[in-house]
């Protein structure tokens, strides 16, 4: 409002403000005078007569935000809107939502009008939800999800700097026995106290989280191998030396510890944590209350050396443009026409021989640069589709990439504003990878679909996806795992399982592809069961030749051909 209104007109507005528990203010910037209306008593602000006095009430960490929002409003117009903490008369801070507008002259605010509403309860709920999303409710430490994120960040830094680190899996020994003998309150007291003792053993740079009912995880950044053992022994001593006070009386507790080194033994959070858990299981078998580092066997060392050599070959092939696509058609079960081609990655060896992806992808994932390969696959597929408007292509990405937000940003950047390209791409993620983190996978799928891509769930049936999981993922297509198609004509169990998978997919209106179709008999059964698309050697083996080039060549204009 810009004009004066009568007292009679003001009364219903003020009554509404008071009833809502809101307080309105008018700030005359020149004189710095504040005028209050509405439920000012409910805000417990007392007498705040000036802008300076009001600013002094705002929490010092939040004051810059309000000033920035107000300044931005003066520059661009529109309402300013922000939330901040304000000191009440009793000294406590409360959260308020401040929304208003400013009258300006010569680019400066001369009068500011706004409404304050208490939102402390809502902010408490939001903070609680944020806490639960990242922290363990009982101990206050990182939860498993947040722990994985922190571990991935530290591993990435370790790979950049070359500094070693380690992850410790710390398990409380016989916690179930304590729970059975003394009750859950005593068991909870043990968990809390062990967590606090771990805190006291660690450096400021170390990270701790509760990753399971009886397990903690600890990340030791920039820590040499000999110092990992020192840290573990310190933890073992701290856990067992003094009994823990519980509602049932003092309880003695011990812990067992398994450790894995990064980046030497593994380069992803999943692999590092899995190796440490393997070592922890060995520590418990060894009698508990001890430390066991993960050790590579001679066979594992041989495989590790082979993986490193293979990784170097793949990197050279990438730089020399020797990573290529083999294309395999996916046809309509009803007509036999090609709907799209799947891009299958191949490496051309130094001797010219083709090496299938299955022979090197596992090593690449272990070495930690599968995302680089998946970025290459993405760019190569997009380029092919953009150059040939008549084709549709599918390509696979690894389980690690399926939850990688950097890769998502890359595909968003490449396909933004190009729906004619995105709509002809099918991105395939494996079922087992999708189920590993269903919420993150669902966000990944939704982002791809928002761009216009189709998304297929590969190896459907291998991970026993539930109806609820499929609803969460919201993919377009499922590709039935080839193991259920192989020998289908002579395997009654496979046919029964196939019928179950098709029923689930059709119930959600998903397109269905069957892989590994090798003969006419299998194709006929799949059609009969309601499978819509077929892929396998019966319809075409993977080939480096691009079949659409033949089709494009056959469409040469008559005058040119003559």
Determine the topology of domain 7-124 in CATH.
Beta-Lactamase (3.30.450)
Q: What is the mean pLDDT of residues 163-187?
A: 92
Whether the pLDDT of residue 105 is over 60: the answer is yes
- Model confidence at 11, in pLDDT bands (50, 70, 90)? low
- Give the H/E segment covering residue 323: strand 323-332
- Model confidence at 439, in pLDDT bands (50, 70, 90)? confident
Q: Which residues pair with 534 in a beta bridge?
A: 331, 514
Query: Which of 37, 35, 3 has its CA nearest to residue 20?
Result: 37
Whether the pLDDT of residue 411 is over 80: the answer is yes
CB of 273 within 8 A of CB of 211? yes
Helix, strand, or coil here: 561?
helix
Mean pLDDT of the chain: 86
Tens digit of each residue's pLDDT (9 = 90 or more) over 243-264: 999 999 999 999 999 999 999 8
What pLDDT was estimated at residue 562?
30
Instruction: Find the Cα–Cα–Cα–Cα dihedral 389, 394, 397, 399, rounded to 10°.
Output: 140
Whether the pLDDT of residue 277 is over 50: the answer is yes
Query: Which of 229, 226, 234 has its CA nearest to residue 198?
Result: 234
Which residues of the chain does CATH 3.30.450.20 include? 7-124
- Model confidence at 39, in pLDDT bands (50, 70, 90)? low
Determine the topology of domain 304-545 in CATH.
TIM Barrel (3.20.20)
Rg (CA), the chain: 32
Tens digit of each residue's pLDDT (9 = 90 or more) over 389-398: 999 999 999 8
Asked which of 51-55, 124-128, 516-520, 540-544 is least confident by mean pLDDT, the reply is 124-128
Asked if CATH classification 3.20.20.10 holds for the domain at 135-295, the reply, yes or no, is: no
Whether the pLDDT of residue 1 is over 50: the answer is no
Q: What is the mean pLDDT of residues 182-202?
A: 93
What pLDDT was estimated at residue 561?
37
Residue 538, Cβ density class (10 Å: 0-12 exposed, 13-18 middle, ≥19 buried): middle
Quick one: what percent of the chain has pLDDT higher than 90?
A: 45
Tens digit of each residue's pLDDT (9 = 90 or more) over 110-129: 888 888 888 888 887 777 76
Whether the pLDDT of residue 557 is over 60: the answer is no
User: Can you tell me the distance from the alpha carbon of 82 to that of 391, in angstroms, rounded to the nearest whole number?
Assistant: 49
Helix intervals (H) in 286-360: 298-319
Which residues of the chain does CATH 3.30.70.270 include? 135-295
CB of 34 within 8 A of CB of 53? yes
What pLDDT was estimated at residue 13?
55
Which residues of the chain does CATH 3.20.20.450 include? 304-545
Whether the pLDDT of residue 512 is over 80: the answer is yes
What pLDDT was estimated at residue 18?
61
CB of 51 within 8 A of CB of 34? yes
Helix, strand, or coil here: 339?
strand
Tens digit of each residue's pLDDT (9 = 90 or more) over 326-372: 999 999 999 999 999 999 999 999 999 999 998 988 888 777 778 88
What pLDDT was estimated at residue 560?
36
How would DSSP label each residue in 15-61?
HHHHHHT-EEEEEETTTTEEEEEESHHHHT-----BHHHHHHHB-TT
Whether the pLDDT of residue 107 is over 70: the answer is yes
Query: Which of 485, 400, 486 has its CA nearest to residue 444?
Result: 400
User: Can you tell me the distance from the alpha carbon of 117 to that of 21, in angstroms, rounded to the nearest whole number?
Assistant: 7
- The sign of the CA dihedral 527, 529, 531, 535 is negative
21 vs 541, higher pLDDT: 541
Q: What is the mean pLDDT of residues 501-516?
A: 91
- Model confidence at 558, in pLDDT bands (50, 70, 90)? very low
Q: What angle do CA 164, 165, 168 make, to 5 degrees?
A: 155
SS (H, E, C) 431-470: HHHHHHCHHHHHHHHHHHHHHCCEEEEEEECCCCCCHHHH
CB of 492 within 8 A of CB of 469? no
170 vs 124, higher pLDDT: 170
Cβ neighbours of 99 (radius 10 Å) = 15
Whether the pLDDT of residue 152 is over 60: the answer is yes
């Amino acid at each position: 409002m810009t004009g004066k209104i009568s007292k009679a007109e003001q009364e219903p507005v003020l009554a509404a403000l008071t009833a809502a528990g809101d307080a309105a203010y008018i700030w005359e910037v020149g004189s710095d005078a504040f005028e209050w209306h509405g439920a000012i008593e409910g805000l417990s602000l007392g007498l705040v007569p000036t802008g300076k006095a009001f600013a002094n009430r705002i929490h010092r960490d939040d004051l810059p935000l309000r000033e920035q929002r107000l300044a931005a409003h003066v520059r661009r117009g529109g309402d300013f809107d922000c939330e901040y903490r304000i000191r009440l008369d009793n000294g406590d801070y409360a959260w308020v939502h401040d929304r208003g507008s400013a009258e300006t002259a010569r680019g400066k605010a001369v009068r500011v009008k706004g409404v304050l509403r208490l939102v402390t309860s809502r902010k408490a709920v939001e903070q609680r939800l944020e806490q639960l999303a990242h922290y363990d409710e009982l101990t206050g430490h990182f939860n498993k999800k947040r722990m994985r994120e922190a571990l991935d960040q530290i591993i990435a830094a370790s790979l950049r700097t070359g500094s070693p680190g380690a992850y410790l899996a710390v398990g409380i020994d016989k916690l179930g026995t304590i729970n059975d003998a003394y009750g859950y309150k005593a068991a909870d007291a043990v968990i809390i106290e062990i967590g606090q003792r771990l805190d006291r053993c660690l450096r400021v740079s170390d990270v701790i989280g509760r990753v399971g009912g009886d397990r903690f995880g600890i990340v030791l950044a920039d820590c040499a191998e000999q110092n990992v053992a020192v840290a573990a022994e310190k933890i073992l001593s701290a856990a067992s030396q003094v009994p823990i006070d519980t509602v049932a009386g003092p309880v003695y507790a011990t812990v067992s510890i398994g450790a894995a080194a990064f980046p030497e033994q593994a380069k992803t959070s999943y692999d590092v944590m899995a190796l440490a858990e393997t070592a922890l299981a060995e520590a418990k078998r060894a009698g508990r209350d001890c430390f066991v580092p993960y050790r590579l066997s001679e066979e594992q060392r041989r495989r590790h050396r082979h993986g490193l050599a293979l990784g170097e070959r793949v990197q050279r092939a990438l730089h020399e443009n020797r990573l290529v696509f083999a294309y395999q058609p996916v046809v309509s079960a009803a007509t036999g026409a090609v709907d799209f081609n799947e891009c299958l990655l191949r490496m051309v060896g130094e001797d010219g021989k083709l090496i299938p992806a299955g022979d090197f992808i596992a090593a690449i994932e272990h070495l930690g640069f599968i995302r680089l390969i998946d970025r290459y696959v993405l760019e190569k597929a997009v380029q092919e589709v953009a150059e040939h408007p008549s084709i549709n292509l599918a390509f696979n990405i690894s389980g690690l990439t399926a939850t990688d937000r950097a890769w998502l940003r890359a595909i968003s950047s490449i396909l933004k504003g190009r729906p004619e390209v995105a709509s002809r791409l099918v991105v395939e993620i494996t079922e087992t990878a999708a189920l590993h983190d269903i919420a993150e996978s669902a966000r990944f799928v939704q982002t791809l679909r928002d761009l216009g891509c189709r998304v297929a769930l590969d190896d459907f049936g291998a991970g026993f996806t539930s109806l609820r999981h499929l609803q969460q993922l919201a993919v377009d297509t499922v590709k039935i795992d080839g193991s259920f198609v192989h020998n289908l004509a002579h395997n009654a169990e496979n046919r029964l399982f196939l019928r179950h998978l098709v029923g689930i997919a059709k119930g959600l209106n998903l397109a269905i592809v069957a892989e590994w179709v090798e003969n006419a008999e299998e194709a006929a059964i799949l059609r009969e069961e309601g499978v819509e698309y077929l892929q396998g050697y019966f319809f075409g083996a993977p080939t480096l030749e691009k079949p659409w080039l033949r089709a494009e060549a056959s469409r040469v204009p008559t005058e040119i051909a003559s």
